[in-house]
Structure 1
Amino acid sequence: MAAKRKVGNLLAVAVLSVIIERPMHRYEIASTLRDRGKDRDMAIKWGSLYTVVQNMAKAGFLEIVGSEREGARPERVIYQITDAGRAELIDWTRELIAEPQPEQGQYVAGLSILAALSPDEVIELLGHRLAALDEQIATVRAEFDATSGSLPRLFMVETEYGLAMLDAERAWTRSFRDELAAGEFPGQDAWRNWHIDGMNQDNVDDLMEGGNQHP
């Protein structure tokens, strides 16, 4: 079971993962996270960074070790990780790697209510999704290839995983779309007729009976 964390969002573990290398101020933390693509891996909200760093200091995971000032810029407080912070990072990383957690993605949510759309519209929309996935995969792969020469693979395995997941999503989406386009999806005619008839309650039984086959 996942532990209840004193500071429980993924931005906190991302901060710990970079500040373990050396003391940093918040601007350096943010810059390092951006350079390593952590905003893509963890959907980081940058506006929360100040609060998260403060909360981790209150929790004893970070401590202030000094400050610096450049010209007229505000003074920058420098933090370093504590022994408790190191233990938290190790424990949290173990949990993230070893314990699968249900991820309620928007695509899964959309698929769960797919009957609200006609199969013909779904075919069109899946085509749009495939085009967007092709573009996204090409962008991430280009960034990965450009970075792979400057960072050890150890710091890029999350991007490898992300690409594998995108490839898998694209393959499944293409297969599903092709099945619909060929008219081979179980109960597809009843599904289409339900929309032609105005999603009439009287046709729900036909829709349920026609689509009760599984691959």
Structure 2
Amino acid sequence: MTESTKRAVSNPPGPAVLGLLAESPMHPHAMASALRERGMDRVFKVTTGSLYDVVRALERAEWIEVRETVRVGARPERTVYQHTGLGRAEFVRWVDELVRVPADEYPKFLSAVTYLGALDPDHAVSALRERAGRVRASLEEIRRGHREALEDAGVPRLFVVEVEYAVRMLEAELGWLAEITADIEAGRLPWPEAATGRAGDR
């Protein structure tokens, strides 16, 4: 594996770009529009600039190549990219690996929950309830975007199944937040005496 290939593989939006090019040749502006339409901007930051960085890395790795340069009306010229033979093979290998092998992820929330006992019980309940409200709002927004993609834009379900996964993850988090909050309020979750004492001092 060359150094350029390693750089391409390490870029998180890479599979999304390669996936779009597996459907049809495309320029980065169209990629950005398609990713937003499918709700992928909730998975990673989608900007034309960041996609150009991904495209350059994939081109250096020889996974994609320039197909043509086009101009529509008075707009600037845009470069259309397509898979190379190597790119198609590596894309399939990459997706297979990502699906099969769980990756270690380190979300900030998990780090914070590890030290939930640093808060007093009332403060913890308040924080958890606020988070639940924000998660619920995000969940409704994602569901709405998913419906619009399927019904209004006519995007095939297979192309937005990652949104369904995101919905299930948020639903699971809401369930856990409700459960842990109820346990704290009912006194079923033992709490450090220091944090409990701070609550009484206020």
Instruction: Give the TM-score range, shorter chain.
Output: 0.7 to 0.9
Q: 1:138 to 1:169 in 2, by over 3 A?
A: same
Give the one of 104, 111, 114 matched to 2:113.
111
Contact 1:119–1:188 (8 Å) recurs in 2: no
Matched, 1:6 2:7: yes
Question: Which amino acid in structure 2 is aligned with residue 176 of structure 1?
Answer: I
Matches within 5 A, 1:1-215: 5-7=6-8, 8-44=10-46, 46-149=48-151, 150-187=154-191, 189=193, 191-193=195-197
> Cα distance, 1:66 vs. partner?
1.5
> Cα distance, 1:167 vs. partner?
0.7
Q: Matched residue of 1:10: which SS?
A: coil
Contact 2:121–2:191 (8 Å) recurs in 1: no
Let me know the Cα RMSD of the aligned residues.
2.2
Q: Output one character per residue of 1:108-130: Cα deviation in whole Å (capped at 9) or x when no partner.
A: 01101223221210111111111
In structure 2, what is the Cα distance between the partners aligned to 1:46 and 1:111? Answer: 35
Contact 1:65–1:78 (8 Å) recurs in 2: yes
> Cα distance, 1:6 vs. partner?
3.4
> Cα distance, 1:153 vs. partner?
2.2
Contact 1:41–1:158 (8 Å) recurs in 2: no
Q: 1:82 to 1:162 in 2, by over 3 A?
A: same
In structure 2, what is the Cα distance between the partners aligned to 1:71 and 1:99? Answer: 46
> Cα distance, 1:17 vs. partner?
0.3
In structure 2, what is the Cα distance between the partners aligned to 1:63 and 1:196? Answer: 66
> Cα distance, 1:143 vs. partner?
2.1
Contact 1:61–1:83 (8 Å) recurs in 2: yes
Higher gyration radius (CA): 1
Q: 1:74 to 1:152 in 2, by over 3 A?
A: closer
Q: Which has the higher contact order (CA 8 A, sep 6+)?
A: 2
Percent of paired sites with the same residue: 35
Question: Which amino acid in structure 1 is aligned with residue 92 of structure 2?
Answer: I
TM-score by length of 1: 0.82
Structure 2: segments with no counterpart, 5+ residues: none
> Cα distance, 1:85 vs. partner?
0.8
Q: 1:60 to 1:148 in 2, by over 3 A?
A: same
Aligned length: 195
> Cα distance, 1:21 vs. partner?
1.8
Question: Which amino acid in structure 2 is aligned with residue 133 of structure 1?
Answer: V
Structure 1: segments with no counterpart, 5+ residues: 199-215
